[in-house]
Amino acid sequence: MSRTLQEVADAITATVIGDSAVRISGIASIGRAANGDIVFVEDARYFADAVASQASAILAGNFAKDLPADKPVLIVPHPKLAFARTARLLIADAKSTSRQGQIHPSAVVAASAQLGPGANVGEHVVVGENAALGANSRVGAGCVIGAGVRIGEECRFHPRVTVYSGTTIGDRVIVHAGAVLGSDGFGYVRDGATSSYEKFPQIGQLIVEDDVEIGANTTIDRGALEVTRIGRGSKLDNLVHIGHNCQIGRNVVIAAQTGLSGSIVIEDNVVLGGQVGIGEHARVGEGVMLGGQGGVLPHKVLRGKGEVFWGTPAQPLRDYLKQLGRLARLGKK
Amino acid sequence: MSRTLQEVADAITATVIGDSAVRISGIASIGRAANGDIVFVEDARYFADAVASQASAILAGNFAKDLPADKPVLIVPHPKLAFARTARLLIADAKSTSRQGQIHPSAVVAASAQLGPGANVGEHVVVGENAALGANSRVGAGCVIGAGVRIGEECRFHPRVTVYSGTTIGDRVIVHAGAVLGSDGFGYVRDGATSSYEKFPQIGQLIVEDDVEIGANTTIDRGALEVTRIGRGSKLDNLVHIGHNCQIGRNVVIAAQTGLSGSIVIEDNVVLGGQVGIGEHARVGEGVMLGGQGGVLPHKVLRGKGEVFWGTPAQPLRDYLKQLGRLARLGKK
Amino acid sequence: MSRTLQEVADAITATVIGDSAVRISGIASIGRAANGDIVFVEDARYFADAVASQASAILAGNFAKDLPADKPVLIVPHPKLAFARTARLLIADAKSTSRQGQIHPSAVVAASAQLGPGANVGEHVVVGENAALGANSRVGAGCVIGAGVRIGEECRFHPRVTVYSGTTIGDRVIVHAGAVLGSDGFGYVRDGATSSYEKFPQIGQLIVEDDVEIGANTTIDRGALEVTRIGRGSKLDNLVHIGHNCQIGRNVVIAAQTGLSGSIVIEDNVVLGGQVGIGEHARVGEGVMLGGQGGVLPHKVLRGKGEVFWGTPAQPLRDYLKQLGRLARLGKK
């Protein structure tokens, strides 16, 4: 299936220069583009490469308005964003033509489970009692959806995801293979008499809001007695760990292998680099960026919209860089 | 199912103040308690909140003996521990009423496998030849139990756990979704002639003792030629890695994303924070606590019961704090 | 099944001292060896222990030529390498007698999928449309092989591996349980107007070359628009993360929990310790060794064959050690 360039331009609000009837069926990098593909250019220096490519059309910024091109160009304020939206448009087309509303015969779906129209349940999936899967949501092969789990509309679960019972998931949530959602938190009470650990009950809930994406083999624990929450639009990379009772705000980005222990608050628009570690009850304020491998001690609060923190214990980047410089000079004395 | 408050008090050894005939069916936090729930209070300041809650009873310390309350109170020396035990009691009740002793028809169980009375095998589970599952143990959907694996009694395997062949697991072990037990260790011999790596055989065993809990997506390798062992009562969080030939003692706590390379000894009662990394052949002595993101070099030994270590390379906390202070002062010269 | 010592010696190019007709059926450590096993000794000090063991034969270096032994000895230049090769020989024997060329009836294999001779598909496996599995390759229980995936010959996939569609895998590749190959990379474009993130298309490919081994629960992302590549003979431990567009060279060793963000180049023969973190677009030059927990900043280049780097930001080991020394002395002023 394909779209005319004019249809693409209308969908993403772009100005067409050249033949708007050209048909677009895919996206690609300049180096790998083929006939039917659209590519994007953010920098005038690479525009000639895009023109020379096999692509059928180019997404570019205002700079391209007067540059020579023997193929049509869509002028947009933010070419990379427009490219991502074009991709979404074309992928949605592809999805609408794929089989939908099917339950694979090898799946085990409880009679009390509710499946919305167009919901798709893959091979060897298990859907527990009273679970609900919203319209057009797709659950990949080998997923296990626990009892009472509620999944919204237009979700995409890749294979082998486990969702523990009672978890609630919003609309348009993407979960990658092997992720575990709503597992028990890590809480014990030590019995002084025997030195052994008694498991503290982990009977709270996990709520994942709309438009969240969760990476492969990432684990998110349910609340102990309360709720763990991943806010709307937040994106978690692979192998991330989120402990019990954490509150992750909206549009938070968490890179791979970062770990949050329990009861942490991450406010909206925070960016955490990879392999960051945050201690229990810490708080990262709105809009803070924390560099890779950074560490935040328990109960610590980081604040500053747009402020970049680095190191362990995390400090403002400029302080961290000064310290690195002094350490290096120490070596030369 | 529910218990009278007197039955709870008898089970956990508590003194009842008030109506001991009240029925308790659940546990909850003060904020979320409903009729039938019991809550706990460790600090007199929160006792009034507990009284004002919807809970049917309160677990509290001696301090509550003479405080006003219009609902029954159980007096115990350690309210949080008592709360955890009450939870276990009520959950055991719930378990005993759930279906038991069933093999889901979609499971593939070898004819030579032995299942104890009350053992439960979930959807799409695979149980290999000569594997044994003890009485009342439950294996969740999609688990793969290799040939010759021995699992004790009263174990709880959440969905999609893989146990490699030959692994031995004790009683009352809890394993969370996606964990991998007994995988090959990471060992190669370099062939100088070709620069390629020859796999060193990984044919040893993994032994997990009684009362261990293992977190989601955690990986524990079998021994190369010998045994990897996780000692009785130890608790491992999510995404932990334990390399081949490691010896983990009893009642050891290992927080999320911590990694142990090969042949490491962790003695009894050690606590490792999250994202700790330990080099091969290192030893962490009895009762040591090592803070999050700490690093221990290969062959290094840390000693000191109750001593707290921090940083990379790990040093006693007071030395680490002094160093941080000096680093900060350096910046002000 | 077993081999005569002479057959073993011929296969691994060794000189036999003693009875070459002795039959060998297994390998073991000195402490656990039984009749029929062969053991190895790299150091003359342990030779007597090997002689005293229950093993039927010993692999040893030249030093053992004139040492007394009442059992046969194979003299080789590199006993550990010879031991690994002997293990491979005996395991290959065991494999050839195991059931082969079978598709378990519970597997769901697309009609358009191609299976080579001797290929083995385990319980509850899913093989997507147009996927291809080479001769004698074995796919363990619960694996999900996406549409169009190509897997070479003699591969071994342990249970519950997920391979996203379009991934290409070479010959003799070993993948451990729970690994995820070819998942979406972590790429978004921020929409300034709404502060929300638009998913950047992740439609590239993952190519894994011959003789690679991939650890349990490791995740490797496909390219965004291009290719992620794991070079021939490279070995990845458990819980490793490789981001989109990374180029890993040949015979690279990556220890557990190390994470690479996007578009990183790791040249041939690099060794990365555990929990290393590398920022996007960085490059690690041929033959570099980077110690555990080391960190490399985005766009940084490390160079030096055989050079060892350590710390965050990574620096040559001798500089790192000097700095540690100065830090310690600071504390004593």
The CATH number of the domain holding residue A37 is 3.40.1390.10
Nearest-Cα residue of chain B relative to residue A199: B84
> How many H-runs (helices) and E-runs (strands) does chain C carry?
4, 40
**C247 in a domain, yes or no?**
yes
In this structure, the number of other CB atoms found within 10 A of the CB of residue C95 comes to 13
Sheet hosting strand B156-157, strand order edge to edge: B120-121, B138-139, B156-157, B174-175, B213-214, B235-236, B253-254, B271-272, B289-290, B308-310, B315-316
Question: What are the residues whose beta carbons fall under 8 Å from the beta carbon of C201, sequence distance 6 or more?
Answer: A27, A83, A84, A87, A88, A91, C224, C225
Substitution target from A154, A267, A275 for chain C, most C beta carbons within 10 A: A275
What tens digit of pLDDT does each residue of A27-48 get?
999 999 999 999 999 999 999 9
Determine the pLDDT at residue B326.
Answer: 81
Substitution target from B85, B230, B293 for chain A, most A beta carbons within 10 A: B293
Q: Name the more confident of C51 and B325.
A: C51
Task: Nearest by CB to B331, from A189, A191, A319: name it.
Answer: A319
Nearest-Cα residue of chain A relative to residue C313: A324
CA distance, residue C223 to nearest chain B CA (Å): 24
Say if the Cβ atoms of A275 and C275 lie within 8 Å: yes
Determine the pLDDT at residue A327.
Answer: 78
Nearest to C320 by CA among B312, B205, B206: B312
What tens digit of pLDDT does each residue of A71-96 get?
999 999 999 999 999 999 998 766 65
Shared domain check, B315 and B217: yes
**Strand-pair partners of C144:** C126, C162
CA distance, residue A200 to nearest chain B CA (Å): 5
Substitution target from C27, C85, C156, C257 for chain B, most B beta carbons within 10 A: C257
Question: Given CA atoms C29, C31, C37, C41 in this order, what sign does their dihedral have?
Answer: positive
Shared domain check, A170 and A50: no
Q: Counting Cβ atoms within 10 Å, is residue B231 exposed (0-12), middle (13-18) or buried (19+)?
A: buried
Determine the pLDDT at residue B46.
Answer: 95
Q: Which residues of B touch C276 (CB under 8 A)?
A: none
Give CA–CA dist B308/B317, Å, rounded. Answer: 6
For residue B285, is pLDDT > 70?
yes
Shared domain check, C141 and C58: no
Q: Which residues of C touch A176 (CB under 8 A)?
A: 180, 183-184
Determine the pLDDT at residue B98.
Answer: 54
For residue B323, is pLDDT > 80?
yes
**C333 in a domain, yes or no?**
no
**C332 in a domain, yes or no?**
no
* 3-state SS track over chain A: CCEEHHHHHHHHCCEEECCCCCEECEECCHHHCCCCEEEEECCHHHHHHHHHCCCCEEEECHHHCCCCCCCCEEECCCHHHHHHHHHHHHHHHHHHHCCCCCECCCCEECCCCEECCCCEECCCCEECCCCEECCCCEECCCCEECCCCEECCCCEECCCCEECCCCEECCCCEECCCCEEEECCCCEEEECCCCEEEECCCCCEEEECCCCEECCCCEEECCCCCEEEECCCCEECCCCEECCCCEECCCCEECCCCEECCCCEECCCCEECCCCEECCCCEECCCCEECCCCEECCCCEECCCCCEEECCCCEEHHHHHHHHHHHHHHCCC
pLDDT band at B91 (very low <50, low <70, confident <90, very high): confident
**B253 in a domain, yes or no?**
yes
Give CA–CA dist B90/B54, Å, rounded. Answer: 19
Say if the Cβ atoms of B275 and A279 lie within 8 Å: no
pTM of the model: 0.96
**Strand-pair partners of A73:** A17, A58
CA distance, residue B128 to nearest chain A CA (Å): 19
Burial B130-139, CB ≥16 within 10 A → b, else e: bbbbbbbbbb
Task: Nearest by CB to A259, from B122, B274, B331: name it.
Answer: B274
* Helical (H) or strand (E) element with B62: none
Give CA–CA dist C39/C57, Å, rounded. Answer: 7
CA distance, residue C117 to nearest chain B CA (Å): 24
Say if the Cβ atoms of B78 and A189 lie within 8 Å: yes
Q: Are C215 and C193 in contact (CB under 8 A)?
A: no
What tens digit of pLDDT does each residue of C90-103 get?
987 666 555 567 99
Local mean pLDDT, 10-residue blocks, chain A (333 residues): 94 96 96 96 96 97 94 97 95 63 94 96 97 97 98 98 98 98 97 93 96 98 97 98 98 98 98 98 98 97 96 93 81 57
Say if the Cβ atoms of B235 and A197 lie within 8 Å: yes
Q: Are B158 and B152 in contact (CB under 8 A)?
A: no
Q: Which residues of B touch A323 (CB under 8 A)?
A: 327, 330-331
Shared domain check, A284 and A166: yes
- Range(s) of the domain holding residue C69: 3-97
Give CA–CA dist A83/A81, Å, rounded. Answer: 5
Nearest to B219 by CA among A4, A106, C218: C218
Shared domain check, A177 and A34: no
**Overall size of chain A counted in residues:** 333
Domain's final residue, options B78, B97, B116: B97
| C-alpha torsion angle, residues B315, B318, B321, B322 (rounded to 10) | -100
Shared domain check, A304 and A213: yes
Give CA–CA dist B153/B156, Å, rounded. Answer: 9
Neighbours of chain C (3+ CB pairs under 8 A): A, B
Say if the Cβ atoms of B160 and C160 lie within 8 Å: yes
Say if the Cβ atoms of C256 and B239 lie within 8 Å: no
Say if the Cβ atoms of C124 and A124 lie within 8 Å: yes
Give CA–CA dist A93/A78, Å, rounded. Answer: 23
For residue C306, is pLDDT > 80?
yes
Say if the Cβ atoms of B327 and A330 lie within 8 Å: no
Determine the pLDDT at residue A166.
Answer: 96
Say if the Cβ atoms of B217 and C178 lie within 8 Å: yes
For residue B333, is pLDDT > 70?
no
Query: How far apart, in Å, are the Cα atoms of A322 and each of B20, B282, B327, B331?
Result: 65, 34, 11, 7
Mean of the per-residue pLDDT values of chain B: 95
Domain's final residue, options B46, B73, B97: B97
Q: Which residues of A touch C239 (CB under 8 A)?
A: 217, 239
Query: How far apart, in Å, are the Cα atoms of C27 and each of A39, B194, C300?
Result: 57, 24, 45
Determine the pLDDT at residue C67.
Answer: 93
Question: Given CA atoms B211, B214, B215, B216 in this order, what sign does their dihedral have?
Answer: negative
Determine the pLDDT at residue A248.
Answer: 98
Q: Which residues of A touch B32 (CB under 8 A)?
A: 225-226
CA distance, residue B178 to nearest chain C CA (Å): 7
Q: What is the maximum alpha-carbon separation in chain B? A: 82
CA distance, residue C24 to nearest chain B CA (Å): 16
Side-chain half-sphere CA neighbours of B223 within 13 A = 23
Q: Is C79 helix (H, G, I), strand (E, B) or coil?
A: helix
Q: Are A238 and A214 in contact (CB under 8 A)?
A: no
User: Degrees (nearest 5) of the Cα angle A141, A145, A150?
Assistant: 125
Nearest to A238 by CA among C41, C261, B172: C261
Task: Nearest by CB to A180, from B32, B178, B257: name it.
Answer: B178
Shared domain check, C260 and C120: yes
Sheet hosting strand B205-208, strand order edge to edge: B114-115, B132-133, B150-151, B168-169, B205-208, B227-230, B247-248, B265-266, B283-284, B301-302
Shared domain check, C113 and C52: no
Nearest to A261 by CA among B238, B212, B278, B42: B238
Nearest-Cα residue of chain C relative to residue A37: C225
**A324 in a domain, yes or no?**
no
What tens digit of pLDDT does each residue of C119-153 get?
999 999 999 999 999 999 999 999 999 999 999 99
Rg of the Cα trace of chain A?
Answer: 24
Nearest-Cα residue of chain C relative to residue B195: C251
Task: Nearest by CB to A189, from B81, B176, B256: name it.
Answer: B81
Task: Nearest by CB to B292, from A189, A277, A326: name it.
Answer: A277
CA distance, residue A327 to nearest chain C CA (Å): 7
Q: Which residues of A touch C200 (CB under 8 A)?
A: 80, 83-84, 87
Nearest to C269 by CA among C216, C215, C231, C229: C231
Shared domain check, C265 and C152: yes
Tell me the count of A-C CB pairs closer than 8 A: 162
* Helical (H) or strand (E) element with B29: none
Shared domain check, B162 and B82: no
B176 part of the active site: no
**B169 in a domain, yes or no?**
yes
Give CA–CA dist C194/A269, Å, rounded. Answer: 11
Burial B205-230, CB ≥16 within 10 A → b, else e: bbbbbbbbbbbbbbbbbbbbbbbbbb
**A18 in a domain, yes or no?**
yes
Report residue B204: phi and psi, to 5°. -75, -160
Look up the ipTM and state it.
0.95
Q: Name the token pair of C48.
A: 């007597």
Q: Which residues of B touch C83 (CB under 8 A)?
A: 189, 200-201
Across C222-290, the runs of DSSP E, i.e. the strands, are 227-230, 235-236, 241-242, 247-248, 253-254, 259-260, 265-266, 271-272, 277-278, 283-284, 289-290
- Please report, for the domain that includes residue B213, its CATH number: 2.160.10.10
pLDDT band at C325 (very low <50, low <70, confident <90, very high): confident
Sheet hosting strand C37-41, strand order edge to edge: C15-17, C73-75, C57-60, C37-41, C26-27
Shared domain check, A127 and A93: no
pLDDT band at B1 (very low <50, low <70, confident <90, very high): confident
Q: Name the token pair of A2.
A: 């394909």
Instruction: Give the active site residue among B78, B124, B244, B281.
Output: B244
Shared domain check, A239 and A143: yes
Give CA–CA dist C6/C22, Å, rounded. Answer: 8
**A325 in a domain, yes or no?**
no
* Helical (H) or strand (E) element with C3: strand C3-4
Substitution target from C261, C317, C323 for chain A, most A beta carbons within 10 A: C261
Q: Which residues of C touch A253 (CB under 8 A)?
A: 188, 197
Burial A224-239, CB ≥16 within 10 A → b, else e: bbbbbbbbbbbbbbbb
Nearest to B169 by CA among B157, B185, B177, B183: B157
Nearest to A292 by CA among C258, C201, B259, C185: C258
Instruction: Give the active site residue among C158, C176, C241, C244.
Output: C244
Give CA–CA dist B115/B148, Å, rounded. Answer: 13
CA distance, residue C123 to nearest chain A CA (Å): 11
* Count: domains in chain B: 2
What tens digit of pLDDT does each residue of B98-114 get?
556 799 999 999 999 99
